[in-house]
Amino acid sequence: MFYLSRIEHTFRVPPSLLSLPIEEAVKGELERLFLDKVIANLGLCVSVYDIKSIEGGFIFPSDGAATYTVVFRLIMFRPFVGEVIAAKLKESNATGLRLSLGFFDDIYIPVHLLPNPSRFKPDPNKRDKGMWEWEYGGEPYVIDGIDEIKFQVHNVSYPPIPIEKPKEAKPFAPMVITGSINDDGLGPISWWVGAEQTDES
Amino acid sequence: MKSLEANAGALTNFEVLNFLRSKGAAKDSTRVLAKVAPSEYKVYDYLVQSAACKQTRENINEFLERCKKYDLAKAEVLNIINIRPSSAVEIYSIVEECEKRFGDAVEELVELVENVLPPPLIELKPEGIDEGKEETANIDGGKDEPATGEQMDGS
């Protein structure tokens, strides 16, 4: 789920930070640059883990700030395909489920990765919202968002930044996880509590 | 920006939580004073209610040692530590081709998980905030070392 990534970056440290020790100033700038941002193919940056080296400190002509080349490590949130993660339900509509980890919301479970057979029950009070139901052994199992949902990572994609945004489009998500709950042990955790005996038979 | 090494080692949830704790993240009112960004707090809030909240370095090392005989892939071990499956059916989704590789040894593995990795908090009740505070304080005091320990090599 979390990985370290070693990165080299060259950036300017504004003179307003001159009063700080160099490590602190560089760390502050790195946090400002990378924290809570997605780097394509590396994932979502959670934290600056450590700083390996700081080099340079050149002041380029007509620039009133020092430029440093820094090697550092970041903690990245980057799930691998096949990983099982516990998340909370955020949205449920006819196209599937949307789950959230609190710090990351772009997790989608499309209809074909829901357990089979699943049915969608629209909510009459709310437009295009509703609940999904899995029918197993003649009994309906509802995905109601009360307990945590375990899903398996099916795919992680980093869509390119759109040049022109169509009107009324969803906000752009730089990293999208597609998940599956169509397997034993996946889905709301309450489904599998005490399921042992029935499974064995 | 130049990426020198995309995968410089995998971290368990516990290690990330420990790192954030060593930065001063905690579950009480001092959070505005700590040098922790709001986005880091979101990660902390997720981890502190996950299975990682009560794990210790010793627990994990012991588990790593004792699960060697099962010949699990590194990613699978990592996933088991993060999720802490408490029944066989939860292991099926984590371990690939579980039936073929394990057969009946799954139950043994579940037992090992239950014995070695501590169970997570069931629920932090709103009225139990004081209790929770004490607990996190204890955990903090227990291991204040910076998170530069071992990492699992996930490559």
Q: Which domains does chain A have, with CATH numbers?
A: 2-77 (3.30.1490.120), 84-200 (2.40.50.140)
Contact B92 A5 (CB under 8 A): no
Contact B90 A199 (CB under 8 A): no
User: What mean pLDDT is reported for chain B?
Assistant: 75
Measured in angstroms, the CA of A53 and the nearest CA of chain B are apart by 13
CB of B16 less than 8 A from some CB of A: yes
Cα-only R_g, chain B: 17
Banded model confidence at residue A9, pLDDT cuts 50, 70, 90 = very high
- Chain B residue with CA closest to A8: the answer is B2
Which tens digits make up the pLDDT trace of B110-125?
Answer: 888 888 888 776 544 4
Banded model confidence at residue B140, pLDDT cuts 50, 70, 90 = very low
Give me the interface pTM, i.e. the ipTM.
Answer: 0.83
Lowest mean pLDDT among A57-61, A104-108, A181-185: A181-185
B58, B31, B66: which is closest to B145 by C-alpha?
A: B58
CB of B93 less than 8 A from some CB of A: yes
- Chain A residue with CA closest to B39: the answer is A36
Beta bridge partners of A49: none
The pLDDT, as a whole number, for residue B32 is 67
User: What mean pLDDT is reported for chain A?
Assistant: 86
Average confidence (pLDDT) over B12-31: 82
Banded model confidence at residue A163, pLDDT cuts 50, 70, 90 = confident
The pLDDT, as a whole number, for residue B121 is 65
Domain ranges of chain B: 11-48, 57-116
Percent of all residues in chain B with a pLDDT value above 70, rounded to a whole number: 74
Using a CB-CB distance cutoff of 8 angstroms, which residues of chain B are in contact with residue A152?
93
The pLDDT, as a whole number, for residue A197 is 47
Lowest mean pLDDT among B3-12, B55-64, B114-123, B135-144: B135-144
Average confidence (pLDDT) over B18-29: 81
The pLDDT, as a whole number, for residue B124 is 46
Using a CB-CB distance cutoff of 8 angstroms, which residues of chain B are in contact with residue A103?
39, 42-43, 45-46
Residue B109 scores a pLDDT above 60: yes
Burial A27-59 (b: 16+ CB within 10 A, else e): bebbbeebbbebbeebbbbbbbbbeeebeeeee
Average confidence (pLDDT) over A119-138: 80
CB of B9 less than 8 A from some CB of A: yes
Average confidence (pLDDT) over B77-83: 87
Using a CB-CB distance cutoff of 8 angstroms, which residues of chain A are in contact with residue B93?
84, 150, 152, 183-186
Contact A86 B83 (CB under 8 A): yes
- Chain B residue with CA closest to A81: the answer is B75
Using a CB-CB distance cutoff of 8 angstroms, which residues of chain B are in contact with residue A31?
37
Q: How many CA atoms lie within 13 A of B153 on its CB side?
A: 2
Measured in angstroms, the CA of A128 and the nearest CA of chain B are apart by 29
Contact A185 B39 (CB under 8 A): no
Dist CA A188 CA A144 (whole Å):
9
Which tens digits make up the pLDDT trace of B32-71?
Answer: 667 788 888 889 888 888 888 888 888 888 888 888 878 7
Contact between residue A180 and residue A113 where contact means Cβ atoms under 8 Å apart: yes
- Chain B residue with CA closest to A27: the answer is B35
More confident residue, A2 or A135: A2
The pLDDT, as a whole number, for residue B53 is 83
- Chain A residue with CA closest to B147: the answer is A49
Average confidence (pLDDT) over A35-50: 91
Banded model confidence at residue A77, pLDDT cuts 50, 70, 90 = very high
Fold of B57-116: Growth Hormone; Chain: A; (1.20.1250)
The pLDDT, as a whole number, for residue A194 is 63
Cα-only R_g, chain A: 23
Measured in angstroms, the CA of B130 and the nearest CA of chain A are apart by 23
Dist CA A87 CA B83 (whole Å):
11
Average confidence (pLDDT) over A193-201: 52
Residues in chain B: 155
Average confidence (pLDDT) over A134-144: 81
